Copies of this chain bind each other. A is one copy, B any other.
């Protein structure tokens, strides 16, 4: 792996374990086995610039993962239930690791680090765009597709934090049941109660 890539990967790993403020650039270069000068050669903006690159790269990988989990299912509800069940199993098997640093770092820095907030916002927007595409292919309108992918992402991110904290997959499964119920109402409009 190239030096700049090793630096970005090391930063992403530290971000997901301990967040942005706790991570020093010396710790990053040590983990990357890179000379300190190489950081400023590849990333003149220093720690913040490395974190931006790490968030973009983690965000792209996580977006691809969610798409890969949903894409094989022609039925939206099946796809969502299966994706949350898979996510619950993965977070448990990995010992409650932070699945993706974007949301936790976004929550940590949204008020304190405007540049990182903007990068996180770009990542969220990219996830939304991908999800809208996927859900429109399953027959949803633009508005419903947008609302559903935002519900999926917020449920998944909120559930990951609670699952890591409680050391339990239950929040991910409960969040999945909830979003699946929402997807069901969007795909079967005729079930609206006559009451």
Chain A residues near B (Cβ < 8 Å): 16-22, 96-98, 103-104, 106-112, 117, 120-121, 124-125, 146-148, 150-151, 153-162, 164-167, 170-171, 174-175, 177-179, 181-182, 184-185, 188, 190-193, 195
Contacts and interface: CB of A to CB of B under 8 A. Distances in A.
Number of copies: 2
Given A107-B103, A155-B154, A147 B174 contact: yes
Give me the 6 closest cross-chain CB pairs, A-B, nearest first: A158-B158, A154-B158, A151-B178, A21-B22, A21-B21, A104-B107
B185 A103 contact: no
A181 B188 contact: no
Contact of A158 (B21, B98, B121, B157): B157
A185 B192 CA distance: 10
Given A106-B165, A147-B177, 17 more contacts: A18-B111, A19-B107, A98-B110, A104-B104, A106-B164, A107-B108, A107-B160, A108-B108, A120-B165, A121-B167, A150-B170, A158-B161, A178-B181, A181-B184, A188-B193, A188-B195, A191-B191
Contacts of A150: 159, 162, 170-171, 174-175
* Majority-rule SS of A interface residues: helix
Contacts of A195: 188
Contacts of A174: 146-148, 150-151, 154
B165 A124 contact: yes
A20 B112 CA distance: 12
A161 B102 CA distance: 10
A191 B193 CA distance: 6
A110 B21 contact: no
Contacts of A159: 150, 154, 158
